Structure 1
């Protein structure tokens, strides 16, 4: 075949080049991706070329179909979701439903229906349902079920370890951004907000009841003229199976009472489906990450969403559907007031809207997590020690003898106070806790030795527990408070005896309660490195309060005896609350929090222990998330702990860190959060780290041949036996029954009575 004169075939390359530029801008692609972008550009040109033919084919197919002989009826199903503060005003969903019921006219041939979609606030759900019932509305409820929600985990296992919060790369790339925070809550978001799940439910409800299905957001409002424009467009082109209805943002609902009011409608549209279509919304896309836009992409609906930036963890954009392009633009719909008018206007409002939306998602999910934890949290219940083990401890005579001897020694010591030290914190306040950094020494090459320099593994005199010179500082006395109080509380519980409880109560009062002797509730001067940070601690000193995890159980046991009165109890909790406030704002605390070594683990352990004692379910939920992110940052592909193995005492620090992890797992398990079986994206977790330690503990080429207490492995072996019996080592490794270890080994006194 030859071309006719004057009909020379034009090259497609100019169009392809223009499309290539558009795709490159959209994806912000470097030129190294030229090949894939070129393919995309050519596909777009070919798609547009064939669209006219497909529209004509759709016209013919429709004319021959049974649905063409059905009258144009509509079913408008509005989905009422949660008020997501600060994106929305509390109660705005109810107010918008009320406005619709009182002002939106009836539409001929259109049935109205509602879906009450997983509203978390039971009072608000009841209020909305009551309103619908009072106005004789038809509706369907998709309930929020706390037990179902509790089973949903965070999405940290979908990210590479280097992208997570506690990795250097993750912090540098903005792992704390709203996008990151919403991503790691993606699965929880999918359940709570349930955008596309509810839209698909609406399609299923409407498919056999109308020809045109409108699964729309609960804040959509149609004036009489707006609906008529939609109907007219569809009646004109019924062969197009989809219609997109642009939205107009409204900041004053009263404007819609003027029937001639017609604002510019330029926002992301709502979609109308013909009943014989089969497209469903992809339920993997959650609120805030393009749940409806994914459908617009599939249908080939162009818009500003084509230029949105994709994050590394976003799903690849979907391919076009077989019936892509078979849509028309029809009328307009109002998006009712969100109660946050400043978020609805202009470019500044658009940017602020994205930020507030991400915050709203995080806040809502975190509220649900707090509820799930709160349902299982009893602040008076022991979290490290096991109630049943203590109740049956009288059957273990050898351990009881150890307990009686240790308690007898504790009765001869204390009470202790921060006032007892012979040194003084740099602040000059004798009630400030003070302890120098143990591995930082004067610089011999500088006048006065300042600033100090590090010698990892070499302790400064007086910084080791109980040694001569330690009376200058507070560390030894603090440890006595923790250990002696715990031993006495266990003795009072197991052996009986008011004198044990009374002495323990005195220890608690002197260090934490009595305003004349108590420690100020901060650790500004813990592990001070002279000449650094204005002679304040670097944050690593926060680990010196790590033993709250068993000490707070001791306080619970003492409180049960009645020797601590209501005023003492309130004052102790006030101290803990003030200390947590300091942890929340102190830059030094942030250093410990973001540490990818044992410092971070023991920070989480400390916060979790205090949270269970104070009944802070929100903090406990966050610690459960942080622990999973932290595991991914700490555990290597082979199950080892690289940060600890790089120390001068790798054997000690590997065991020390895993003791912290197993204690944290116990605290979390007390509220139903199972950290034991969590695994990272690489299939690693606490159990795998224990396996690695046990397999390499006696291999000097892996860990140095340093001398450690041979019994230290016993508690970790028992944990491995309890949570992974298949991975247990040969029996000749033994299991320790030693009741008391040195505090530096992070094993609680009488650990044999701990929770499994």
Structure 2
């Protein structure tokens, strides 16, 4: 009798252990935020990505520009934006990698995949240290695009992505800004979710989901505005000075973009944050951003900046949120076109219905 009881306890413990292990690890070979169905639909409509393929072809001669110590200076000074080639090179390379990987998916031409893989390897094998200041920030802003690109070509050409996985686990993960309260936190959550999805770590995905929800709960006011962002200036006096609020709508978009991409990554892996109370707050923020984008003269800092606001229509992410929270203002903005911040080709991947 006692033997049978012990045997049952042992089996139960083993089962629990297996469950915990299964929770910690998951298949990591799926695309990060694009589905095979989306790719297949686009393959049947080549006219929609003619311009993208031409750009991929023009970029095939591009070579990665990594550095061993990635420590660019602060983006803002007391007089305005600084321009540093180190940060610009990472951003540029991230875009080239992503587009080449996407072109591979659409055409199955392995030349595009090889180009993306070569550039990813260059950064993975060169970077030794990442500065804690602007370096970490730029990793948060740009690495997700590289990770998404890598997911599109990870099983092509027998590519060995060991160096890239090491870069993610040993360096990129340590730069996360997910604990910050403003837009940096949203980019940090996207970085965390992207790394976790690529490496197949469900526990880290769950952690990213919890942080995603906490940020939406704390960042979005009852009227849908983002108080930490709408006051943003164009200098290191981040929320003050003569041009207070000139970047406020731009930074609202810059917060909601990573929030949206992270939501897609999480939802595709069973963490449907859209259906949470925090998802409701995202819907409120989307409606407010859409209204301001359509009617910028209603933005709180429009008059104080003499009718000038930066990044008013940096709203390509509307094409995703419109499917979750249909909004007439956003629909009008998308139909009007000339929508920016489309580095992930969202307008092509998520066409307005």
TM range (shorter): 0.7 to 0.9
Q: Is the counterpart of residue 636 in structure 1 residue 234 in structure 2? A: no
Residues 1:752 and 1:547: Cα distance change in structure 2 (over 3 Å): farther
Residues 1:397 and 1:646: Cα distance change in structure 2 (over 3 Å): same
Q: Larger helix proportion, structure 1 or 2?
A: 2
In 1, the alpha carbon distance for the partners of 2:31 and 2:351 equals 9
Cα shift at 1:613: 0.5
Cα shift at 1:724: 2.1
Residues 1:481 and 1:754: Cα distance change in structure 2 (over 3 Å): farther
The residue that corresponds to 1:62 in the other structure is none
In 2, the alpha carbon distance for the partners of 1:655 and 1:630 equals 15
User: Helix, strand or coil for the counterpart of 2:285?
Assistant: helix
In 2, the alpha carbon distance for the partners of 1:736 and 1:503 equals 35
The residue that corresponds to 1:549 in the other structure is 144
The residue that corresponds to 2:70 in the other structure is 433
* Selected match of 1:658 from 253, 256, 263: 256
Q: Is the counterpart of residue 624 in structure 1 residue 231 in structure 2? A: no
In 1, the alpha carbon distance for the partners of 2:2 and 2:178 equals 46
Cα shift at 1:604: 0.7
Cα shift at 1:412: 2.4
Structure 1 regions of 5+ residues with no counterpart?
1-96, 103-115, 127-143, 145-363, 419-430, 441-453, 464-469, 528-536, 584-588
* Selected match of 1:400 from 49, 56, 63: 49
Number of residues paired by the alignment? 331
CA RMSD of aligned residues (A): 3.3
Residues 1:124 and 1:663: Cα distance change in structure 2 (over 3 Å): same
User: Helix, strand or coil for the counterpart of 1:605?
Assistant: helix
1:325-474 map, 5 Å: 371=22, 374=25, 377-418=26-67, 431-440=68-77, 454-455=78-79, 458-460=80-82, 462-463=83-84, 470=85, 474=86
Residues 1:660 and 1:509: Cα distance change in structure 2 (over 3 Å): same
* Selected match of 1:578 from 170, 182, 186: 170
Structure 1 residues 350-389: Cα deviation after superposition (integer angstroms, max 9, x where no partner): xxxxxxxxxxxxxx9xx98985575xx4311012222211
Cα shift at 1:557: 2.5
The residue that corresponds to 1:320 in the other structure is none
In 1, the alpha carbon distance for the partners of 2:350 and 2:127 equals 29
Could you tell me whether the CA contact under 8 Å between 2:87 and 2:138 is conserved in 1? no
Could you tell me whether the CA contact under 8 Å between 2:28 and 2:197 is conserved in 1? yes
Could you tell me whether the CA contact under 8 Å between 2:97 and 2:120 is conserved in 1? yes
What's the TM-score, normalizing by structure 1? 0.40
Q: Is the counterpart of residue 724 in structure 1 residue 336 in structure 2? A: no
In 1, the alpha carbon distance for the partners of 2:188 and 2:173 equals 14
Cα shift at 1:632: 1.1
Cα shift at 1:556: 2.5
* Selected match of 1:609 from 189, 194, 198: 194
Q: Work out which structure has the larger RCO, using CA pairs closer than 8 Å and 6 or more positions apart in sequence.
A: 2
The residue that corresponds to 2:240 in the other structure is none
1:483-522 map, 5 Å: 483-513=95-125, 518-520=126-128, 522=129
Cα shift at 1:692: 1.5
Residues 1:699 and 1:403: Cα distance change in structure 2 (over 3 Å): closer
Cα shift at 1:543: 4.2
The residue that corresponds to 1:668 in the other structure is 266
The residue that corresponds to 1:303 in the other structure is none
* Selected match of 2:131 from 510, 514, 524: 524
Structure 1 residues 164-209: Cα deviation after superposition (integer angstroms, max 9, x where no partner): xxxxxxxxxxxxxxxxxxxxxxxxxxxxxxxxxxxxxxxxxxxxxx
The residue that corresponds to 1:479 in the other structure is 91
